[in-house]
Amino acid sequence: MFSGKVVLITGAAGGIGIAAAKAFAKEGAKLALVDLSKEALEKAANTMDAGDVLLLTANVANEDEVKRYVEETMNHYGQIDVFINNAGINGKFANLVDQSAENFQAVMNVNVNGVFFGLKHVLKTMMKQKSGVIVNTASNGGLLGAPGMGPYIASKHAVIGLNKTAALEAAEYGIRVNAVAPSGVDTAMMKSIETNAMPGKEQEAREMFESTVPMKRYATPEEIADLMVFLSSDKASFITGSYYRIDGGQGTGSA
């Protein structure tokens, strides 16, 4: 399905990033994987059966580093066909009246600035190609509220807004832009959220979070990756500007 195509993935050493890389590699894609740690990227790459993999370290909150990972991908492959704009953090839990400006800004720097910089520089390349697909990782938190998670919730609402705007600006160039909006996913990030929510009582936190999902479980990273692959494929050729809940029914009847 993606033979000869180049797929660029940020947050590629995390749970969803690894699953996405494996899923695209299985379909024949060439990969450019971006994360903060070269060691973590190498460890992730060793778990996948991929023919051509470029490993790139970058902080997505730094525009110069984003510009560099795009340029290095283009220098190596000569094209970017799919961009999985996936890097994100959850930040620290606290009610708004107790949130620090430092935590709020840290979350915004990665989750909003990182997505914006990625869109800005990848779209420039795709517009020259007059082709490409972008999938942004949002969250059902971009559609709902959650006590104690104000910075994260605000950041994911912003991702959905950027997603809609990018789709409108890119459509005339033959570029599609969509977002996935998962609920809890069984990854290290979700374990961090459990610890933030109920320190020392992570299993109770997991049971509490899962109880809010009609299907009574977290998603697997592979389930999110499968949706990303579909949205990036020709089977989704008339889909753009949309966001897709993948939340076990959690958002049903809400926003």
User: What positions carry a catalytic annotation?
Assistant: 152
C-beta neighbour count of 192 within 10 angstroms? 16
Q: Compute the distance between CA of residue 169 and CA of residue 158 in angstroms, rounded to an integer.
A: 17
Runs of H (alpha helix) within 92-245 = 101-108, 114-129, 150-170, 188-197, 202-211, 221-232
**Total length of the chain:** 255
| Cα–Cα distance measured from residue 60 to residue 88, given in angstroms and rounded to the nearest whole number | 9
CA distance 90 to 138: 12
Nearest-Å Rg of the Cα atoms of the chain is: 17
